[in-house]
Amino acid sequence: MAAQASASLLPQELIRLKRDGQPLPDHELAAFIQGIADERISDAQIGAFTMATYLNGMSPAEVVALTRATRDSGHVMRWDDLNLPGPVVDKHSTGGVGDLVSLVLGPWVAACGAFVPMISGRGLGHTGGTLDKLESIPGYDPYPAPERFRQIVKQEGVAIIGQTGQLAPADKRIYGVRDVTATVESIPLITASILGKKLASGLDALVMDVKVGSGAFMPTPEASRELAQSIARVATQAGTPTTALLTDMSQPLAPCAGNAVEITETLALLRGERQDGRVMGVTRELAVEMLIAGKLADSRTAAIEKLDRALDSGAAAEVFSRMVHALGGPSDFIERPDDYLEKAPVIVPVYAERAGIVARIDTRAVGMSTVELGGGRLRNDAAVDHRVGFSQIAAVGDSLDNSRPLAFVHARDTAAAERAAGQLRAAVTLGDDAAHADTLIQETFRGDAL
């Protein structure tokens, strides 16, 4: 836990300093953030602080201090007492559509000797949630007791679970206030929010996937780039070596969007049935960075060789299978997924209104259509329909005609399927000339070089 609040500076005085653009002392900022976690700071004071930060920004040193304070506002996990024979590493993404990377990456890197305590989230806005996808699997429990979580990581190499209230509790309150005070779009606050939770996992190294394009969280390529640089620099300065990749989200990453459909795609990838798609391109690059950061490979070539062996031997798929079973899922899930994953009542192809070549996809619109089908939440308390979504989504550059559909829609009824089909057609722009996808891995930022 962070140091107890200092009596030397009242909360309103720290807010005044930030309002006036004055530097914030590290120990006073830490006390203020701990006061948020302890509920000694009011929502009004949080709102004033976040608005002052939104308007005036923060110095690099202040963002590091804010990140550390957020991390230390609750329980910070330790792994040294387990005598793990490998590094503790993780990855985080700003989210997207068809972004099932975590489901493949965690087991794959664990099969190479790393230990991956992956704490993930649910769908937010148009982006899919890793936990929602895993809950397509009957019995999967994303909230094990803390000691059980540690033991699964030790035994299986990876556990993908949800955040508990013990980790970075100050962030939950801060984010809730930001959401209703128009202060979400602040690079310092976003950086501290993401890293406060991730670094509380006690990592040796972190790799960040920051999306850019029509399905990205950040509104512009420039904002995505700024966030990637901020995260890599701040996390490294806070004590966790971090690399951030700027990756394309101008079309769905995998050729599917939804929950059960993405689990099906995950299994195909882990079995090595599809190794050359966009989703595997991003996953492989992130995995390479994780192995190098964790000192499990001394070069890109060595990392790729290790990853190829883990995939080709079936070791990555086996790790996924064991993780699912350890967290309450069926022991034979990976062998018999069709026996466990529910199917949508209506599965129909969606054809374009004319023949042509896919020139552009409004990825956010595809994500929102998936949400409207029931694959995400329009309200926080809404239930998710794991069966629905899109599969076999056409990619930029694909030729479409009456034999090649835009996608297949999975829906709960015919009316929902027809609405989703119309939304998908509107989200895809067709042309008559050859089209090419944007560069998949656009930039790499290493914290120790920034």
Tens digit of each residue's pLDDT (9 = 90 or more) over 239-295:
999 999 999 999 999 999 999 999 999 999 999 998 779 999 999 999 999 999 999
Per-residue model confidence as pLDDT tens digits over 282-292: 999 999 999 99
pTM of the model: 0.93
In the predicted structure, residue 7 carries a pLDDT above the cut 60: no
Q: Are residues 367 and 327 in the same domain?
A: no
Q: How far apart are CA 397 and CA 155, in angstroms?
A: 44
123 domain-assigned = yes
219 & 234 share domain: yes
Q: Are residues 99 and 113 in the same domain?
A: yes
pLDDT at 55: 97
Mean pLDDT of all residues in 306-335: 97
Q: Quick check: 422 pLDDT over 80?
A: yes
CATH number of domain containing 274: 3.40.1030.10
- pLDDT tens per residue across span 85-120: 999 999 999 988 999 999 999 999 999 999 999 988
Phi/psi at 292 (5° precision): -70, -45
> Is 1 a residue whose pLDDT tops 90?
no
CB 82 within 8 A of CB 150: yes
Active site positions, annotated: 90-93, 130, 178, 193, 197-198
Residue 38 lies in a domain: no
In this prediction, residues 305-334 reach a mean pLDDT of 98
Q: Which residues contact 1 (CB under 8 A, 6 or more apart)?
A: 34, 72, 73, 74
Q: Where residue 380 falls among pLDDT bands split at 50, 70, 90?
A: low
Task: Verify that 124 and 220 share a domain, yes or no.
Answer: yes
Average pLDDT, the chain: 94
In this structure, is residue 421 part of a structural domain? yes
Residue 219 lies in a domain: yes
List the CATH number of the domain containing 426: 3.90.1170.30
pLDDT in the model for residue 179 = 82
Please check whether residues 327 and 345 belong to one and the same domain: no
* Whether 352 and 332 share a structural domain: no
Same domain for 304 and 236? yes
Are residues 135 and 96 part of one domain? yes
The answer as to whether 57 is a domain residue is: no
Say if residue 332 is in the same domain as residue 345. Answer: no
Q: Is residue 216 part of a domain?
A: yes
251 and 388 both lie in a single domain? no
Radius of gyration of the chain (CA): 22
User: CA distances (Å), 146 to each of 159, 166, 241, 261, 330, in order?
Assistant: 11, 9, 25, 30, 22
Comparing 315-329, 376-390, 405-419, the range with the smallest average pLDDT is 376-390
Residue 95: per-residue pLDDT? 86
> Are 189 and 107 within one domain?
yes
According to the model, what pLDDT value does residue 2 have?
A: 42
Q: Report if residue 19 sits inside a domain.
A: no
Total number of domains in the chain:
2
* Residue showing tokens 């998908």: 424
The torsion defined by the Cα of 140, 146, 151 and 152, in degrees rounded to 10, comes to 20
HSE of 250 in the Cβ direction (CA atoms, 13 Å)? 19
Q: Which domain holds residue 268?
A: 80-163+179-336+442-449
pLDDT in tens, 54-97: 999 999 999 999 999 999 999 999 999 999 999 999 999 998 89
Q: Is 272 exposed, middle or buried (0-12, 13-18, 19+ CB in 10 A)?
A: middle
As a three-state string, the secondary structure of the chain is CCCCCCCCCCHHHHHHHHHCCCCCCHHHHHHHHHHHHCCCCCHHHHHHHHHHHHHHCCCHHHHHHHHHHHHCCCCCCCCHHHCCCCCEEEEEECCCCCCCHHHHHHHHHHCCCCEEEEEECCCECCECCHHHHHCCCCCCCCCCCHHHHHHHHHHHCEEEEECCCCCCHHHHHHHHHHHHCCCCCCHHHHHHHHHHHHHCCCCCEEEEEEEECCCCCCCCHHHHHHHHHHHHHHHHHCCCCEEEEEEECCCCCCCEEECHHHHHHHHHHHCCCCCCCHHHHHHHHHHHHHHHHCCCCCCHHHHHHHHHHHHHCCHHHHHHHHHHHHCCCCCCCCCCHHHCCCCCCEEEEECCCCCEEEEEECHHHHHHHHHHHHHCCCCCCCCCCCCCEEECCCCCCCEEECCECCEEEEECCHHHHHHHHHHHHHHEEEECCCCCCCCCEEEEEEHHHC
Asked if residue 193 is part of any domain, the answer here is: yes
137 and 283 share one domain: yes
